[in-house]
Amino acid sequence: LQLRRGWFAFSRKIQQRNEVLDRGTVALYNKVRDAGYPCCILKGQGNAVMYPNPSARTPGDVDIWVNAGREEIRALAHSLVKNTNGKVEDESFNHIGLTVNGVTVELHSTPGFMANFVFNRRLQKWLKRNVDAQCGNMVELVHGDGAVAVPTPSFNCVYQLYHLYHHYFYEGVGLRQVVDYYFVLVKSEELIVKNSIALEREFKHLGLWKFAGAMMYVLHKV
């Protein structure tokens, strides 16, 4: 009984955090759009809508892909924390981190990069080619009282596999990333069947084909 109560309390905390992040995600998305920048929400609360119970997904931070230059994104970060209890924090090759009203945010100039020069060049071209479609794909968040742009299923099939690949080599893969990609594949099942040859070609072009095979094996076993 005590264990069951602990699980219930933990589940309730996850739900409450998802409610906070949904509202925060919508607010941040609207602020970036109001500043004049096309953008979309990567992973996070955008992934949660693919779950049978979006409130049960273990939440993280808010990743926003902003279709703008580095200097513009840096200025945007400072404007977002103005008149809040937040601050601009770390800055990496592809994002600027900040905290706004207790929510951890990453503003991405590009969603990712690869160490291999050839594959990174191909990845950046692929991202630029697809950014407009991602910034126009709107969904309603469960607790957000509004809609945000999130990646399309076809984009997520490739991008979130890349994200797992990046985690595998640099940060470690957690259960959340694996489950997220499982639901990406469930959401995209019909698309994958119809476009399997094109997807295979895309994975090979971006250097992800062998990793894709390994992930499919793992998810099949799960």
Q: What is the pLDDT of residues 162-199, one digit of tens each?
A: 999 998 888 888 889 999 999 999 988 888 878 888 88
Share of the chain above pLDDT 70, in %: 98
Q: CA-CA distances (angstroms) from residue 30 to 36, 39, 53? A: 10, 10, 25
- Secondary structure of the chain: what % helix, strand, coil (to 5)? 60, 15, 25
